[in-house]
Amino acid sequence: MLKGDDAFKKIIAHAKEYGFIFQSSEIYDGLSAVYDYGQNGSALKNNIKEYWWKSMVQFHENIVGIDAAIFMHPTVWKASGHVDAFNDPLIDNKDSKKRYRADVLIEDHMAKLEDKINKEVEKASKRFGETFDEAMFRKTNPRVVANQEKIEAIRLRFVEALENNNLEDVKKLIEDLEIVCPVSGSRNWTDVRQFNLMFSTQMGSVTEDANQIYLRPETAQGIFVNYLNVQKTGRMKIPFGIAQIGKAFRNEIVARQFIFRMREFEQMEMQFFIRPGEELKWYEYWKEERMKWHTSLGMPNGLYRFHDHDKLAHYANAAADIEFAFPFGFKELEGIHSRTDFDLSAHQKFSGKKLQYFDPETNESYVPYVVESSIGLDRMFLAILSQSYVEETLEDGSERVVLNLPPMLAPIKAAILPLMKKDGLAEKAREVMDNLKYDFMCSYEEKDAIGRRYRRQDAIGTPYCITIDHQTLEDNTVTIRERDTMQQERIHVDEVKRVVLERISFKNR
């Protein structure tokens, strides 16, 4: 694995040149922070999904998979907290170039005024020997009354402006209150702009009747709203998990670093439903399990690390990231969160439907707690790609670029190569190809010198090259060349399928 900016650029160039990742709508100059997966990229991505899905759903009897829709009832996002957390009116100070949430600036200002009042009241209470509340109630000080009225007036304007989504008023309020930038101390503000991190669209073709709906900003809610359906129909017993792979959308202000942060991205996640009070035990369990999954890919040590969160999200009582050493540094690849009963309780409240589980062991009903594993598929793709990209100098001084992919993830498992076109070698190679292509992804190439074809396969990470030569015609043996060692062995044609399948199997990790 290469390091540094230079390496990252090479990997991006390689990804494009060999059909892994293209910029979206490239012939129209592209669309910012949106990328398409090409012929090899989509194959690699699908293989990552399959590996994850099998290790979750197929290898665990108590985990099942679903595929929820991207569109969901708008109230889902009120219950989840996204409508509040993802809608920010922002304002920039032109002098300091700092950006603030306009509502926070105003709230801070009100807090300062309130602080003033409290100090006045406190003084009064000491003077008259009253409690704080008594002093407040008497409103002895006219300045206190004036300030309280002022705050109330601000709050009214503020709430009204926000409710009507009147951003000009919000700005005017900031100007009227003479709020200054804490950094530059100036009042040179830009207009207030609404940044909505959720994409929205209308459902219903008649404009007046249409409801605004969102493209889901996370896949988790599709699992939570189906919790009861799956638990009942699958007769699931706690603890159990629901897994899902799917697209999510976030209108990031700045989306950059190739496919690391995109506006449209794919998540692979599993929500594990447990008994309240056992969440930390399961949290630790899944942290270890998930780390094992990553290291089972055979990546070198030291590429992964845990990062425990100090600042917890509104839904979590414990959270850690698994970080990966990307070419641009250690960054989040996966999150493991103890989400408590936040989501199910919220949906219970907003929907009015009971989302509880009767535990036959304890004879109790409760809203289950949740431990979540959520991994960015595109980030996983980037992690594997960047760690697999190797530039080698061979003994003879020549260079080659190899994608050192785990064989089971490689887009193409075997390339079938006749040493040359004539003498019936091509026909024989076709025969071999036809016998293999139903079992794993194969590629056939007869153009160019054999060495060149090996290098091309190296560049897309094909683990095995099957070469048909003159000896094949005599004794039905072929050579099988291994990508990383470049070593060849001669085996019988009938053995090829078994040998390749064995070496690309999940079981042999």
Q: Which residues bind RNA (CB under 7 A)?
A: 5, 8, 12-13, 16-17, 23, 29-33, 80-82, 85-86, 92, 97-99, 217-218, 252-254, 256-258, 261, 311, 313-314, 328, 394, 396, 398-400, 419-422, 447-452, 454-455, 467, 469, 479, 481, 486-488
Query: Which positions ≥6 away from 470 have C-beta within 8 Å?
Result: 419, 423, 425
Which residue is listed with tokens 């407040």?
136
Q: Which is nearer to RNA, 4 or 234 (CB)?
A: 4
Nearest to 62 by CA among 240, 234, 228: 240
As measured in angstroms, the least distance from the Cβ of 86 to RNA is 6
As measured in angstroms, the least distance from the Cβ of 186 to RNA is 14
Q: Which is nearer to RNA, 144 or 402 (CB)?
A: 402
Q: Which is nearer to RNA, 120 or 264 (CB)?
A: 264
Q: Which is nearer to RNA, 144 or 167 (CB)?
A: 167
Report the distance separating Cα 268 and Cα 279, nearest Å: 21
As measured in angstroms, the least distance from the Cβ of 469 to RNA is 3
3-state secondary structure of 495: helix
Q: Which is nearer to RNA, 121 or 262 (CB)?
A: 262
Report the distance separating Cα 457 and Cα 428, nearest Å: 20
10 Å CB burial of residue 397 (0-12, 13-18, 19+) is exposed
As measured in angstroms, the least distance from the Cβ of 143 to RNA is 35
455, 458, 460, 466: CA torsion to nearest 10: 90
CA atoms within 13 A on the CB side of 400: 21
Six token digits for residue 486: 């470049």
Q: Which is nearer to RNA, 455 or 503 (CB)?
A: 455
Judge whether 75 and 214 are in contact, CB under 8 Å: no
As measured in angstroms, the least distance from the Cβ of 51 to RNA is 25
DSSP 327-350: TTEEEEEEEEEEEETHHHHHHHHH
Report the distance separating Cα 360 and Cα 238, nearest Å: 10
Q: Which is nearer to RNA, 46 or 398 (CB)?
A: 398
Q: Which is nearer to RNA, 204 or 451 (CB)?
A: 451
As measured in angstroms, the least distance from the Cβ of 22 to RNA is 10
As measured in angstroms, the least distance from the Cβ of 420 to RNA is 4
> How big is the CA angle at 140 (ends 134 and 146), to the nearest 5 degrees?
115
As measured in angstroms, the least distance from the Cβ of 479 to RNA is 4
